[in-house]
Amino acid sequence: MNITSQPARCRDELPIARFKQSPGDFKVCELLGFELDGEGEHLWISVSKTGLNTRDVVDQLADIFNTTARDIGYSGLKDKNAITTQWFSVPLAIGLEVPVEIYSIDHTKIARTTRSRKKLRSGSHRHNHFQITLRDLHDCREYLEPRLQRVRDEGFPNYFGKQRFGHGGRNVISARSMFQRKQKLSRFKRGIYLSAARSYLFNKVLDVRVAQENWQTVLPGEVCVLDGSNSVFHCALPDDEIHQRHVDFDLHTSGPLHGRGRSLVTDAVQQLELRCLEGEEILMAGLEQAGLKQERRALRAIAQDLSWRWLDETTLEIEVKLQRGVYATSLLEELVVLQENENAPIAADSDTGDAE
């Protein structure tokens, strides 16, 4: 599998869509999935921003509150070429006024402030809501309508998006170099490379299962993931009940997030995954030595509340709610070949598509 190649499912001819031609073409809003009680020594701030990534806002908040970037909490990373709304937290003692300077950060709007007893931790929010505009779609409305309906009804392959890997897959290349040379890097860069390596191995397995048309089939020896949770269980011999629960989106087939420990899969799935990962010993050993533990990720993602409308004959607007960690670009690549604005920067590790 080429790191930057189109996945197996997209090897047929797909229409080309112009994507992210302006920040307004890609809007994403974090949905916490829980209520805040408004009390405590941490100020939580919902910030809508354009042309700024997460770290840009973190640095400005640290300056305003006279603290360090490490004290600023956030749940997911967002890149620049989008309109994004996300939460941040800042330590602020009870009784202290919110500095008015937060309302003057360029290219931002404060959507809401409240308080909590806890700092906002990475991966805290449950979902992201996306509003995406695809442009210059010529003579393909009849082709796209049934594909949209299929994604809504059946879900889509839960690939990690290309932005996880950087330009030309350089994050995976850097991960191999880091493992071979035992380089000492910043915690941030090291985290990016570890995530890229793990994601690449997962995508290799999913790509083969998509090509074999069994990514939505519970095979003997499967490890299933319960929908909306990290709970997994081994299924040696799937029966009618398991298959029906899969059809009902109650559980999903899964792929490996490599690390230390023995894989839970057995039988046909174990053999398939071993074949898929042949030749990747450097990445696998490096992830183990880094101390990461074996985990599983669902092979299928659900497009919750998926809706769409044609703004004109060549412009399609899509709205969807996705679980945190699911890439919107992976959904879009079920439909079209994405042609991004050539002048738009690609972040080394962005969240506008994966929402981690």
Separation of alpha carbons 153 and 306, rounded Å: 9
Examine the domain organization and report whether 176 and 81 are in the same domain.
no
Q: Is the pLDDT of residue 354 over 60?
A: no
pLDDT at 35: 94
pLDDT at 348: 41
- pLDDT at residue 214 is higher than 70: yes
Distance between CA atoms of residues 224 and 253, nearest Å: 5
- Whether residue 11 is predicted with pLDDT greater than 90 in this model: the reply is no
Residues 119 and 171 in one domain: no
Q: Token pair of 322, please?
A: 């996705």
Whether residue 172 is found in the same domain as residue 70 = no
How many domains is the chain built from? 2
279 belongs to a structural domain:
yes
Mean pLDDT of 155-159: 97
Is 348 among the domain residues? Answer: no
Does residue 233 share a domain with residue 93? no
The verdict on 173 and 253 lying in the same domain is yes
Q: Residue type at 74?
A: Y
* Averaged confidence pLDDT in the chain: 92
Beta-bridged to residue 156, according to DSSP, are 301
Could you tell me if 169 and 258 lie in one domain? yes
User: 311 or 12, which is more confident?
Assistant: 311
Q: At what angle do helices 170-181 and 281-289 cross, to 10 degrees?
A: 70
Confidence (pLDDT) at 353: 42
Write down which residue in 73, 105, 124 finishes a domain. Answer: 124
Residues 108 and 246 in one domain: no
pLDDT at 284 over 80: yes
More confident residue, 238 or 341: 238
Q: Could you tell me if residue 328 is inside a domain?
A: no
Structure confidence at residue 265 as a pLDDT band (50, 70, 90): very high
Residues 165, 297 share a domain: yes
Confidence bin at 2 (pLDDT 50/70/90): low
Q: Are both 184 and 88 inside the same structural domain?
A: no
Q: Of the candidates 105, 124, 143, which is a domain's last residue?
A: 124
pLDDT at 34: 94
Question: Is residue 53 scored above 60 in pLDDT?
Answer: yes
pLDDT of residue 290: 95
The answer to whether residue 88 sits within a structural domain is: yes
Say if residue 167's pLDDT is above 90.
no
Is 69's pLDDT higher than 80?
A: yes
Q: What percent of the chain has pLDDT over 70?
A: 92
Each residue of 18-29: pLDDT tens digit?
A: 999 999 999 999
With a cut of 60, say whether residue 350 has pLDDT above it: no
Enclosing domain of residue 203:
8-13+151-301
CATH code at 253?
3.30.2340.10
Helix (H) or strand (E) holding 46: strand 42-50
Beta bridge partners of 254: 298
Tens-digit pLDDT profile for residues 75-133? 999 888 999 999 999 999 999 999 999 999 999 999 999 999 999 999 999 999 999 99
The answer to whether position 318 is within a domain reads: no
The residue that leads in pLDDT, 351 or 284, is: 284
The answer as to whether 69 is a domain residue is yes
Same domain, 155 and 294: yes
Assess whether 219 and 261 both reside in one domain.
Answer: yes
User: What is the pTM (predicted TM-score) of this model?
Assistant: 0.90
Please indicate, yes or no, if residue 75 is contained in any of the structural domains: yes
Residues involved in catalysis: 79
Q: Are strands 26-31 and 83-91 parallel, antiparallel or unpaired?
A: parallel
155 and 295 share a domain? yes
CB atoms within 10 A of CB 115: 17
Q: What is the pLDDT of residue 351?
A: 43
Do residues 223 and 269 lie in contact, with contact meaning Cβ atoms separated by under 8 Å?
Answer: yes
Question: Is residue 8 pLDDT above 60, yes or no?
Answer: no
CATH number of the domain within which 65 lies: 3.30.2350.20
Among residues 65, 89, 124, which one ends one of the domains?
A: 124
Residue 249 domain flag: yes
Q: Report the range of poorest mean pLDDT among 43-52, 185-194, 197-206, 343-352.
A: 343-352
Helix (H) or strand (E) holding 91: strand 83-91
pLDDT in the model for residue 244: 97
- How many angstroms separate the CA atoms of 217 and 254, rounded? 10
> What's the angle, vertex CA 190, arms to CA 188 and CA 194, rounded to 5?
120
